[in-house]
Amino acid sequence: MRPLEETFADVERGNLLVGLDSPDDAAVYQLSEDTAVILTTDFFTPIVDDPYDYGAIAAANAMSDVYAMGGEVVLALNVSCFPADLPLEMAREILRGGAEKVREAGGVIAGGHTVDSPEPKYGLAVMGLVHPDKVATKVGARPGDVLVLTKPLGVGIVTTAFKSDAAEQRSVDEAVASMVRLNRHAARAMTAGEFHAATDVTGFGLLGHAWEMVREGGVRFRLWFDSLPFVHGAQALAGQWLFPGGTNKNEAAYRDYVDFADRIPDEMRMLMFTPETSGGLLIALPGEEVEALRSRCAALDQPTWVVGQVLRGEGIEVV
């Protein structure tokens, strides 16, 4: 039997700009000289109790891949897996949360598919559009670039602690507010100027997604720990070692590629491996472009943090 990668290699690439040969946040297919379509999908189980918030978070998370590629959302389909005994009102609220978030993005939900499932799962299949010259990928960071992050970290540990009543309400409120926030303004600000690479920070945590950019681009990232933003309470919860299971998986997968300064304690290292949901964009751009990007973001009420720099070499260092 032929290896799967050889089978994919036989497929005519044609107008496929981003696909399986260079794994990224979404697929991109060029339709014309000035238009390319972005396709992606994502769904997951509830991470908050409120069904409306759950639907909105799942939708924002699914659409984030379009923004990570530099595009705008146009069309979405619901992907719903609901228990047969789920109260109808809860299902409606989940779908309403998703629909209103897609509407906020300027897109429309045109249908979808629902199957019976013992545990609720919800998300979207999303189509977006982007100019072929403005496609953002994980590849392209250059030595001398600056790294900018557009959402705080720590929502993964907060939502995990919330399930055991260990998180403060302020922490939960900040985490939900961050997760439902679209990356639309961040993407618009990014593509309005010069940038070299981008991704969104989700299930592989900050360090896992940073490694994807490093591995594909052949560079080294230096992250400044003291410049990293965290939602309220995330660092305190890390001190209690209330990490989700995915943290250990990420740490095992990526630890060999990361060098930490001795001053950074173990729990803070683990926090950077912790999965995020609907996280911000991590953008590599020329240093001279940073202030212009931050100015555009400020005008759109989009927060930004300068969190590191790109160097020659390989791997990641956290100092």
In tens, the pLDDT along 155-164 reads 999 999 999 8
Mean pLDDT of 198-226: 95
Architecture of the domain whose range is 136-318:
Alpha-Beta Complex (3.90)
pLDDT of res. 60 = 98
pLDDT, tens only, 182-208: 999 999 999 999 999 999 999 999 999
pLDDT, tens only, 246-297: 999 999 999 999 999 999 999 999 999 999 999 999 999 999 999 999 999 9
0.75 exceeded by pTM: yes
Mean pLDDT of 5-18: 65
Mean pLDDT of 44-68: 97
- CATH 3.40.190.10 is right for the domain spanning 4-133: no
**Beta strands 315-318 and 220-223, pairing class:** parallel
pLDDT, tens only, 40-50: 999 999 999 99
pLDDT of res. 12 = 52
Q: Which residues contact 22 (CB under 8 A, 6 or more apart)?
A: 137, 139, 216
pLDDT, tens only, 89-118: 999 999 999 999 999 999 999 999 999 999
The mean pLDDT of the chain is 94
Domain boundaries, the chain: 4-133, 136-318
Tell me the range of 3-17, 24-38, 146-160 where mean pLDDT is highest. Answer: 146-160
